[in-house]
Chains A and B, each alone.
Chain A
Amino acid sequence: MSQMLQFISSFGSSAELRSLPVAELTARMQTFGLNAGEIEVLLSGDRHAIAEMMKTSGDIVCCVVPEKPAEPGKPADPAGPAQDDDDEEEKKASLRHAV
């Protein structure tokens, strides 16, 4: 994975690497120590195959999302800071629309 990481880090910031013809890019990949299977997947551009190959034990499963109204009967924000009045009103309104 470290060789792969080095290659894609370089590829991510290099206009030169991105503009290479396939044969030259393949040769460069080999200098990073990538094997034939890895090179084939990367060159395919197949999102799913690449995602599958790049899976790590710490894969990210979520994105940062903004606040949403709480479910009815639950506190609006059990862990968060105190909300100002407008925010509370907004939440109440959102629940009225939601239920």
Chain B
Amino acid sequence: MAAQIGSLVCIGTGMTMASHLTPLSLSYLQQADVVFSLMSHGVVEKWVESLHPQVISLQQYYQEGTDRKISYRRMIDAMVSEVKAGKKVVGAFYGHPGVFAYVPHQAVAEARELGFQAHMEPGVSAEDCLFADLGIDPGRYGCQHFETTQLMIFKRRLDPSAYLILWQAGVAGDLSTARFATNQQRLKLLVQRLQQDYPLDHPVILYEACTLPVGAPRMERIRLQDLPNADILLQTTLVLAPSQPLEPDLQMQQALAQLTD
């Protein structure tokens, strides 16, 4: 199918305002007919508005008590309808548009399905900031990532000899997808789950990347058992260092040593 007039590019503006936007993403943004934005802070939203004369905030679709899936659907429809109208549309999302972001993935897929050109440009994600700020190299011991609620409601296997990063702890245990906060009871259940693999006094880092360049990242260290009483926000990520050493696989080591080539 020949591509129709109208296009969609979902860009990431990075985590820190004005610091992480790539030259290519900025160029797409400036060339767009219309820009939809979903930012992490009102000031960041204003900054995006300063880069283009027609920026529409997708925040208007979020409401406490409204299922986020409904909000997502409205956001996608808003963007795709402009693409259908023949416009060059940019969806600007904070962080990386493809990481913990349903709307950009779905909007790109639907625009393509309709025969329009659509793609995603990467941005600096919270994960990237976390590695830099905490001095963690995921290649050293390995690194496992889970969305916190998924870890709680599915039977996942954790490897305590690798780093563990839990995203969206701020909505831990929320099955309604309509809340914007977790609570002590849900966090206690999270501790109960983690206790299967980590001692209760194991350190947990509460991490929040800088959204404004003038601020500092949050890097607060607590014990696992103290998690239910901690100040866990929507943007808080939990980081657990390995609690056990790497266990050598002697059989594999031997097999590798016996290889001649």
Give the 9 A-B residue pairs with the shortest CB-CB distance, closest first: A12-B18, A56-B42, A12-B213, A79-B73, A12-B19, A58-B42, A79-B70, A9-B18, A59-B42
**Any chain A CB within 8 A of the CB of B195?**
no
A5-B43, A8-B213, A64-B100 are known contacts; what are 18 more A-B pairs with Cβ within 8 Å? A4-B43, A9-B18, A11-B18, A50-B214, A60-B39, A60-B44, A63-B40, A63-B168, A64-B93, A64-B102, A65-B102, A66-B147, A69-B153, A69-B175, A71-B176, A78-B69, A79-B73, A94-B154
Q: Interface 1/0s, chain B 34-62, versus A by CB < 8 A?
A: 00001111111111001000000101001
Give the docked Cα–Cα distance between A51 and B62 (Å). Answer: 21
Q: How many residues of A contact B (CB 8 A)?
A: 42
Residues of B within 8 A of A (CB): 16-19, 38-47, 50, 57, 59, 62, 64, 67-70, 72-74, 93, 100-103, 106, 110, 147, 149-150, 153-155, 168, 170-171, 174-177, 180, 212-216, 218, 234-235
A-B contact list, 30 entries, CB within 8 Å: A9-B17, A11-B214, A12-B16, A12-B213, A45-B214, A45-B215, A47-B216, A56-B42, A56-B46, A57-B42, A58-B59, A60-B42, A60-B59, A61-B64, A63-B40, A63-B168, A63-B235, A64-B101, A65-B100, A65-B102, A66-B102, A67-B102, A67-B177, A68-B174, A69-B153, A78-B67, A78-B70, A81-B106, A81-B110, A94-B153
Closest to B14 in A: A12
Per DSSP, chain A at the interface is loop
The reply to whether B41 and A62 contact each other, CB–CB distance below 8 Å, is: no
Interface residues of A in 61-99 (CB under 8 A from B): 61-71, 77-81, 93-94, 97-98
- Residue in A9, A50, A77, A80 whose CB lies within 8 Å of B215: A50
The reply to whether B155 and A97 contact each other, CB–CB distance below 8 Å, is: yes
Q: Collect the chain B residues with CB atoms within 8 Å of residue A62's CB.
A: 62, 68, 180, 234
Give the docked Cα–Cα distance between A9 and B42 (Å). Answer: 14
Given contacts A64-B38, A94-B154, contact A5 B102 (CB under 8 A): no
